[in-house]
Each structure stands twice: as C-alpha cells, then as structure tokens.
Structure 1
Amino acid sequence: MVKMVSHGKHIAIIVQQLNKFNPENQDMEDFLNESAKLLQTLNVTEEKFVLDTLAGCIEYKSLLDVVVNAFFVRDGKYCLISERNLYIAICYLATFQLEELGLQQFSRIVKSLDTAKMQKFLRFFFNALYLNTWIKDEWSKFYDSPYVKENWIDPLLRWQPKVQRLIEQLTDKLNNRTTTVKTSRVTQPEEFNLTVPKPRAIPVPLPIRTLVKSLPVPPSTYKPPKEKKQLEKNRTKNYRKAQAPLLKAAANQFKCVTRKPEKEEDTDDTMESKPAIQAQKIQSKIDNIPIKLNAAAILREGALYQRKMEQELKRVENLLQGARDPSEFLEWQKQMRGKDLEEQLAEIECRRLQGKLSYEEAVLAHRNVVQENKKKADLMREEKAELMHQYAEKRLQEQKEMRELVEQVVEGHKNAKQAKIKLQKYKQQIVQEVCEENRELLRQALEEEEEKLRKRYELIQQIRAIASLPSLRHKFVDLTETGGHGLICEMSIVELRERLALLREAQKAAEEEKRDQIIHEKQAKEQLLLEKLDQISMFRAELGRAAALKQEEKKRKSQPGERLMKDERILNLQKKIVEKTMERKKQAGLLKITPQKSSIAWRKDSLEWNRWKELEESRERQVKILQHGLMARETAQKTAAFEAARRTPTAHVLHSEVK
C-alpha cells in the first residue's frame, strides 16, 4: 500500500502534467522522462505513484474518455471543461489502481479534493446499471468483451457497495455544510428614557390699536380732464383743413403727352428692316472667306482631278476605237453559272445521301455498343461477386489477426515497465556514444583549422617578401609603336588618331551631302505643290464658270416670273395692310370719342406725322438701293464668268461633267 501525505498536491501535479501533454507532437516515453525530471523533489514512492498514474491515464485514454465524456453530457453539464483531466485521473485510479491502493487510501485521495465534484462523479461512475450496460459495451469496442468483464467491470462491481458508503459520507458532508447556518440574536427595540417636557405658559395678548378715519376719495379722480377733450377737438379740425387741398390736388392732375399707336407700329417696322440688311451683309462676307489648304489636301485634290481626266480620256478613246457588244459574253456567263448551279445541286444531294447513310451506320454502331456494354456489365457483376467473396474472407482473416494482436498487446503491457527501463538504458548508451563521436569530430576539425591557419600564415609571409622587393614605377611609352601582340590589325596610337580624323571628315561630308539632298527634295516638293495648286485653281475656275453658266441659264428662265410673282405678292400684302388699318381706324372712331384739340395741338401732331412719314420713305429708299447694288454686283460676276467660260475651249467638257 502506498502511503502519501499530501494527496491533493499529487493529484494536482498529475492534472497539470496531463494538461501539458500533446499526443500529436510528443511521445509518451519522452513526456514521462521530462515529467520525471520535474518530480525529482518528491521521494521515490510518490514519484512512482505520479509517473504510474500519468502513464496509465495516457495509455488508457480512449477508455477513460468514454466515461468522462458521458459524465459531462449527463450529470456534469455545469462542470468546467478545464477539470476534465481531474476526472480522468480519478477514473483511472478507481478502475485500475483501486485494488493496489485500497479503499482507505482512495477515500483519502477523494476527500482531499472538492467534495461536490467527487460525489457527483463517483455516483455517476459506480452506478451498477451504467457499468453493466453502456460502459461495458463501449469498452468492448476497444478490447474483448470477456477481458473487459473479467478484469475491469467485475472488480468495479465488487467495490461498488463500499464506494457507495464513501459516496454517502460525501453526501452527508455536503448536507451538513449546507444546513449548518449560524443563528444570530435578534435585537429587541426598547423605548428611550426621555425627560417629560414642562407645559408652555400662555402668552399675554397684545393691545389692539385704534385706526384714524381716512378722508373720502375726491370725485375728480374718476373723471377725464378738460384739456384732453380740447386737444381732440383741435386734432379733428386740423385734419379736415388738410384734407380739402389734398382732394383738390388729386382732382387737377398733370396731363402727359402720349404717342399714337399707329406711329409706334410704323417705327417698329423701320427698326425691324435694319437687322435684315445687316444679316445680308454678314452673309455675303461669310461666303467670300477663303479656305487654306495644306500639302495633303492639295495632293489629294490634284490626284482626284487627275483621275477624273484620265477616266474621261479613257472613255473617249474606247469610244473612238469601237467598243464590242458584251451580249455573247453575258450568254456564256449565264450558261456557265447554270452549270455551276447544277453541280452544286448534285453535290448537295450527294451530301444529303451521305448523311442519311452515316445515320444508318451510327444506329447500327450504337446497337453493337449497347450489346457489348451488356456483356461487359455481366462480366463485371461476376468479378464483383468474386471480389466480395475474397473481401469477406480477408475480413475474417484480419479479425483473427486483430484478436491475436490484442492478446499480444495485453501481454506486452505486463512487461512494459521492464521494457521501459531497458529502453532508457539503451538510449543513455546511444547518447554516450554520440557524445564521444562528437568530441572526436571536434578534435579533428580543430586540427584541420590549425593546419589551414599555418599554411595561410606562410603564404602571407611569402607575399610580403615579394612586395618588399624594389620595382620600376616609371614606364616610357612610344606612341608610334604598336602593342606587339602579333596581330595583323595592330596599329600605333598616332595612326589611330589619323584614322579617326579621316573618319570624322568623311562623316561630315556625308552629313553635308545628306543635308543638300534634303533641301533639293524639299524644293522639289514645294514646286510640285505649286504646280498642283495652279492646276487645282484652273480646274476650280473652269468648274465655277460652268456652274455659273448653268445658274445663269436657270435664272434667265425663272427670273421674270418670280419678279412678277414677288411684286404681285408685295402689292397684295400692302393692299391688305391698308385695308386693315382703315378698318381699325373706323372701329376706333366708332368705339372711342376723341376729345377736341386746339389748333396748336393739331398742328403739332400733323408736323410729327409728316416727319415720321419722311423717315420711313428715306429708309425704304436706302433698302432698295442696297438691294439693287447687291443684285448688280452678282449679275456682273456671273456675266464675267460666263464670258470667260465661252473663251476657254475646255469649258464644254467641264460643263458636261457638271451635268
């Protein structure tokens, strides 16, 4: 039996080490070795207990996880996940170490921990129903069922009544802790022992004073003063005096002179005629703006006119030489197109038949493929059945091997401690051998480094000795001599300079020649552009003359009728305007009675009317003169163009092109 003093301390160490263990990155043996180094402060018995418990918790982790996971799901819903390793350690001690520890030692370990947690876990774990049902079934998944029942379940069931007493003790302890409540003495209130106050004395009444009788209010207080009434009378009187001249001034207002609406309309007409004349002048200026041509536009237009001339000349030459009738060629072309069409139709029909044939072949091939697939499917089913039979046999063989392996593992667990000790000694031996080899390698490396340093030192001494020898620092150079390398193309520096000078002169001459060539090309291009401009101006003049002739002929035909129509239209409009004005005046005379004017006012109106009439007539004369001048200038230009076109022999050709 193991005797320990501080049970809670050892369990805390076990839980702490289990929290540090990571099965993915650490090996169990290395972890136990590290833990043994940390537990050197404990004595041999305590260290052995802690290490055995750690090894068992790690080795049987899968079995212990079954119980602890179920505990957290059912009874330990409100327990902390961080205390999981605590329950694993208690479960391991109860399952595997209870026989060795004994109930008394196990009770001390349990009582040294939290009473509520241990009571809840032990009540869950030592439940006979759970042990016989799902715990047994879950553990049987890892080990054989008879082995589980014989080695683990039956011992737990034997210890269950005794552990039940321990659970009852823990329960009583919890109940006593909760029921023992300190009863404090209730304070009883008592009355204060106060002195009784003396009764107050009745005060002596104060004497009542007699008031002096006041005078009555005078009647003038509630009456308005006479001065106020007098002021109101004066105010109304002054208001009436001021209102009389105001009414008189409003009745006799100033009379303003106003123009007649007829004259205003006339002035508006004259003012509207000014923008029309200005618009005509601006339009004539815009039409005469010259367009500047660049080199590309000049060449493009020249090529266009040149192409037109060539086409016209070619057409004339063909006509002079006699063109043939293309009817025979068209007939032959029609026949050939018919033949091509027949060939195309035959080709289409052939393709259609080929498509039909390929369709039939595809149907047959599909049926053959379906039959082959059926045969392959039958073969695959047979192979599958055979493979399933082989797999079943293999599975049975694997199960047998697994059982044998489990038995071997169980036997190996018994000798695990001895194997661990042997393995530890073997590792220590390997470490010693490796350390000796490292020392030997370090010694050899040091010797090699010393040899290298010695050789370097000797080499440095030789270099310094060579450097200390005197040397000639001045070297005489002859620029006329070659390098003496034995090459055919060798030359001295003087010859090289001469050749470079010759090359520079040749380069300058080439540049001058290139510059002269560019200047000549530029001049030739400018001359070509000037010639093209002359040609374009000539063509434009000819085209303008032809267009002017055509326009003049059109105007000759249409001008008299238009003028008559224009004149008749204007006269009709003027007549209508006069009639409308007369009607308006008559209506105004009937609706409105005009006041009688004095002779002076009548003369003034008549003079003003005459002046406005003269202004209108002068404006009309100016407009007519301007229109006549513009028309005369246009006719003069057109006649000049017509005469120039008649003089030139090519005018008729251009005129035909314009048409």
Structure 2
Amino acid sequence: MKDHRSLVRQAVALLDTFQPEEGSLQAFVDHASKALRDLEDSEQNFVLEVISGCVEHRKLLDVVVNTFYHRTGKGFLQADRNQFMVICFLATFLLEDLGLRCFSKIVKSLDAVKMHKFLSFFFNVNNLSTWIQGEWSQIYDAPYVEKSWIAPLLRWQPEVEGIITQLASKAAGGIQPKKASQKITEPKEFALTKPKPRTLPKPEPIPQQERHRPVPASTYQLPTERDVLEKVKQKNRQQANKVLLDANTQQFHCVNPEKSQRTKKLLSQIQEERDAQLQFNSLFSSGTPSSHKTDSPPIRLNTTAILREGALYNRQVEEETRRMVALLSGGGEPSSFLRWQNEVLQQDLQEEVALLDRRRIEGLISHEEAALARVRVMESNQQRALLKREETAELMRRYAEKRLQEEQEMRELVEQVVEGHKNAKEAKAKLWAYKQRIAEEVSEQSRHLLRQALERAQADLARRLELISQIRAMESVPVIRHKFVDDTETAGHALLGEMSLAELRERLAVLREAQSREQEEKKERLQVEKQNRQQWLQGQLDFISQQRAALGEEAKRKQLEKKTRQKPYLGASDDQQLLELQRKLEDKRQERQRHRQAEDARAKAYGQAAAQALLGWNQQRQWSEEHHWEELESSLERQVQCEASASGSLSLFRGPEKPPSSFPRPIKGSG
C-alpha cells in the first residue's frame, strides 16, 4: 500500500485538472478512476472519495481557503490551493473515519510550514465558533452545521493542538518530542451481528436567491446628448461673443433697430382700419345663407350623385306619405312643440352671440395689455443698452490709446528693420549670383531630359501608326451577312405543331379578323346598354328637379313664417358688461398710444445725439488717419534716401549689374 503522501498528491493533481465548466462531476470521477487503475481498491476508493467530496463541498471549502489566503497565507502560492482544500475536507468530513493517528501521518508527510499555518488558522476556536460557522450557515441549515461539523471540530481541537505543536517544532528545525509508548493491542470479539450505522443523508442545500441582474454601465455614464448640447451651447456662446465684440467695435455701422416714422404711421393706419371694421352693435356679422337659390345655374351631377339624391327624395316622399296617412287616420302633428323648440334655440343662439362678443373684447383687451408689457420691456432694454453704449465708448477710448502706442512701437521697429536692410545688400548680391549659376545648370539638365522624352514619343507614335494601318486593313475585308430563307418551308425540328412562316401569317390574319368581329359586337351591346341607362337617369333627373322645386317653395314659405314670428333682438350694446369691457379696451388703446408717442420723441432725441456723436467720431478718425499717413510718408522718404545713398556707394565699387530681385528660369520645350 502506498503512503498517504502519494495518495494526497494524486488527489491534488486530479483536482488541478478539474474544470467545472467543461464537464460534470460524474464524468470527472469516471476519468479519475481510469487514471487510478494501478492502485488497490481501498486506495482508489480513498482518492475518489476525497476528490468527489472536495468538488461537492467546494463552497464550504472555498470559504475557509479564501479567508486563509486573505489573512494568513498571503505568502503562499495559489498552486497549493487544492492541497489546503484536501486537508480541510479530511479534517471536516473524514477525521472520525481516519482517526487522529492516520490524519497526523497525512499532515506530517506534507510541508510542515504550510500545514502548521493552515491548521493553526482552521482549528482556532475563535474562527470556528464565529465567522466559519456564520458563513457555513448561509449555505446550509444552521442547526445542521453546528451539530454535524462545528461541534466535532471543536471536540477534536485539543488533540489536533498537539499535532500543530509538533509541526511548529518541525518547521523551526527543533528536536521532536519523544513519542508516547503505544498501548498494547487488546483483542476484541467481532461484532458480526452489529449493523453498520446508517450514514447521514446529504443535507439539502438552502436555495440561494437568484443573482440580480447587474446595473448596465450606461446608467453611470453621462448621455452623449448632453455633450452635444454643451458643444452647441459653447459654439452659440462663442458666436454671440463674436457678434457682441463686432457690435462694440463697430457700433455706428449697425442697422438702426428703430422703425421709421413713415413705417409707424402706416402700421397705425392699418390698425385703425381693422378696428373700424369691427361692429359690436350689429345683430349679426353677416346674413343667414339662403337655403334655396332659384337664380343659380343648375349643378351638373354624375351618376352616383343622381342615384343618391333620387333615393333621398324617394325616402322623403315615403315619409310624407306615411305622415299624411297618420293624419287622415286621426293622429296629431307636433307643430306647437316644434315652435317652442325653435324659440328656445333662438334664445340660446342670442346668448351664444353675446358670449362670443364678450370673449372677443376680452381677447382684444389682453392683446393691448401684452402690447403695453412689450413697450415696458423695450424701455428697460433701452436703458440697459444706453449703459452698455457708455461702457463701449470707454473701451473704445482705451483701445484707441493702445493702438497709438502700438503704432509708435511699430514705427520704431520699422526703423530698426531699415538699418538691418543696409547690411543685407551685399548678402543678397552674393545669393543672386549663386542662384543664377544653379538656374543655368537646371536649364541644361531640363533640355537634355526633354530631348530624350521627344525621341521616346516619336518611337511610340510610329508604333501606333503601324498598328492602326493593320487594323484598317483587317476591317476592309468584306463580310457576308445575308441568309436566304424560304417562308414556305418548316424549320425541320420534327415537332407536332410545326408550321412554316407563310402558314403562321395566314393563321394570325384569321385570328385578328375573329377578334375584330367580337370587339364590334361587344361595342354595339355596350352602346345599347348605355342608351337605356341614360334614359333611366334622365327620368331620375326630372324627378329630382320636381322635388327641388317643391322643397324651394316650402323653404320660402317657412322663411316668411320665421320672419313674421321673429322677435326683436336686444343688441350687445345694451349689455352693461360689454359696454364696460369696451370702455376698458379704449383706455388700454389710449395708454398704448401715449407710450408710442413718448417712444417716438425719445427715439428722435437719441437719433440726433447719435448723429452728433458720429460726426465727432468721424472727424477724430479722419484726423488720426491723416496724421498716420503723414508719418508713413515721412518714414518712407527717409528709407528711400538711405537706400539711394547705400546703392550709390556700392555702385562705385562694383559697377552696374542686374538687380538681384529675380534670376532667369529655364525655358520649357527648348532643346
């Protein structure tokens, strides 16, 4: 039988090869049993029990091993993880079956330092009774965990403490204590009839709560629309600042936002004309439309309209007939009820007209109030604009002073540059000579290259002319494209319905004649049906015209009766509420007119002040420009005099030469 160290190592190696996502536990156990064929049955069963138990109780073992790596075993490798899991499984589930002696051999056969650290951590009474029990109780039932696992571990803890002490001395390199004398084995009778105690059933795992769906990453990310809006706002702000800067620097070039006197006069005339068209005291804005006009031309109806109107009049005739029959049989006519109903409707209509007039006047009053509010807002804006103009004028004055200072500095810089140009004359002359020499070399090379390109082009052209002559010679050969066909012969494909072209033409001609005769017969039949239908429609039209005439007479009679019964209507002018609203509207209009006149006077005064300020600013600008141009002309004269004196002194030593402003370029196409 192999030692326990090799069996534990085999179990650890098999656990290292296990991948939960690739296969099931049963498949892994079958694969492990094939790998352990050379072992005995007891050894094979021990290894399989260890690896299957480690896989089944992986959650419990992970709680202990993960915490051990986090707290105490930070210096150990992750490759020893399965080794610690095997020891934890043996101590928790198989310590009763193995016994303390066998468990001590297994532990001592492994690394002493690692086992001392792990067993000291695992068999700590404080750890077992606190967080280990709490974590295991979240996976399985708390009473079962305390009774089956925590209580046995606490019972074995004092005896395991001796093993931990021996491992500590072994890890420190000290002398191991002398083993106690073994007791003499006392033989006992076999209890053959004693049954093996029933193994405890595997506890059912507590159903875990379904893992909640993680919050999407987009929840904690700002939407892209906000960035786009911020960019648009930034861009609009930049444009607004640019427009404000342009308006401040070019104040008097902006368009006058105020309307002219002529425009205001036209707008007031249009408003007065619209107000004059309003009629508050009239009975109706327009007369009631007539129900029947005898002098209007007749409307041309299509077939659908004729049928629809004929059916309508037929129903009306039937209803009138039924009503007459009912009257003859002794029935009554609801004429008094209809008269009362018309009076009630007329009264409701009058109230509705008064309500509409009142609402319209209230709308006009709200419009006038809105106009007055706009006038007040414009006045406040004008005050703010006046303050802004004063600030802008101050900024313009500072800007003008700064420009004068910059022009003075630029003038001094120009004088320094002129002094530097005097020293650069000789360098320019040398540079001109060097460039002229380079230009001559480049022109010579370009002539040589052009000559070679011309020779290649001539050879290519000769080759193309030769190809063109060959193609034209081949195209000049005549080609026979005619094929002689006999119309009376068949194609010779041996088909049942095969016929010649002449026979096909004759059959098609006969077929066309039959189709034309059939079309003529169909046309005559349709014409007869159309005539019959037109006669029937004409009869319907006559009936409709009679019904219309009768309805027109009836409508005239009812209109006359209505006029005789109509009571005088009290107009909206008698309504005190409408009069009060109308007076309020007139007050609002007068107040708005006063604001408009005050605004016109203020705009006129502001225009005169702006014209005077513009005139003064133009004069100041003209004076500054003239002064600036005079200074530029004087500086230019000094520069020309200095250059003339310098060129005169240079020509005395070098003689006349070509100015170095340009050098000859090579001529294209030469050579």
Structure having the higher Rg: 1
Question: TM-score normalised to the size of structure 1?
Answer: 0.29
Question: More helix per residue: 1 or 2?
Answer: 1
| Structure of greater relative contact order (alpha carbons < 8 Å, 6+ residues apart) | 2
